[in-house]
Structure 1
Amino acid sequence: MDLKIDKQQNDREIFVNLAGEIDAFTAPKLREELLQLSEGQKVIINLKDVSYLDSTGLGVFVGLFKQLEKTNGELHLLELSDRLKRLFELTGLSHVMKISAN
């Protein structure tokens, strides 16, 4: 399956809607798209339509979080399914990232 990435930006926030699977095949494209986001911004990523996420995908979010943290930006993950939320909890990422179930 493919991954659809839809980005919208205003002066202070970047909204990203993702749909599909984030795995070893799609994570490089996602990493490229996300890591070029403006520094110091608030990045809000909606994961409502993400059906699968593996460790490669988790690595993308960790890298983005670290990049934004260095530049006083913020990363917010929204509308995670119970399975995705649990995955972030198991890795300890839910304690450092702003994650909302809906």
Structure 2
Amino acid sequence: MTEFGVETRADGVGVVTPEGRLNMVSARRLREVLVGLVERGTSRIVVDLGETTFVDSSGLGALIGGLKTARQAGGDLRVARVSPAVLSVFELTNLDRILRPRPSVDGAFDD
């Protein structure tokens, strides 16, 4: 089962770190975590995929849903530290153009 690290930094950015597989089973929990952050007032979110070993269409759907939720609240969702295996899925689906992976969590909102 995928574990999720969740923290809100001093600068107001929420960081979610899924550890393991981001698939049909864990995508629902990711959606809940992202919506919960936004509901508590954290609309700038970084999903740190450095510990994510696999992502399927359900996981991608959860990320896109989180992006939509964050943007509707006036924020944004960024992904960082994307592993090569997960990046290849992003590239195959062209989601790397929408979620534009960042090299680090700390610099995800620097632009």
Secondary structure of the equivalent of 1:36? helix
Aligned residue number for residue 23 of structure 1: 23
Aligned residue number for residue 4 of structure 1: 3
TM-score normalised over the length of structure 2: 0.80
> Between Structure 1 and Structure 2, how many residues are aligned?
101
Query: In 2, are the aligned partners of 1:7 and 1:14 still within 8 Å (CA)?
Result: yes
| Structure 1 unaligned spans of 5+ | none
In 2, the alpha carbon distance for the partners of 1:65 and 1:81 equals 19
In 2, the alpha carbon distance for the partners of 1:20 and 1:63 equals 20
Amino acid at match of 1:36: G
Q: Deviations over 1:50-93 (max 9, x none)?
A: 11111010000010111112222111111111121121122222
In 2, the alpha carbon distance for the partners of 1:27 and 1:35 equals 12
Q: Deviations over 1:1-43 (max 9, x none)?
A: x111011113521011110111111211221111221256210
Query: In 2, are the aligned partners of 1:82 and 1:101 still within 8 Å (CA)?
Result: no
In 1, the alpha carbon distance for the partners of 2:37 and 2:12 equals 12
Q: CA deviation at 1:101?
A: 4.2
Amino acid at match of 2:89: L
Q: Which structure is higher in helix share? A: 2
Secondary structure of the equivalent of 2:25? coil
C-alpha root-mean-square deviation of aligned residues, in Å? 1.7
Q: CA deviation at 1:98?
A: 3.5
Q: Which structure is higher in strand share? A: 1
Secondary structure of the equivalent of 1:99? coil
Aligned residue number for residue 32 of structure 2: 32
| Structure 2 unaligned spans of 5+ | 105-111
In 2, the alpha carbon distance for the partners of 1:40 and 1:73 equals 8
TM-score normalised over the length of structure 1: 0.86
Query: In 2, are the aligned partners of 1:81 and 1:101 still within 8 Å (CA)?
Result: no
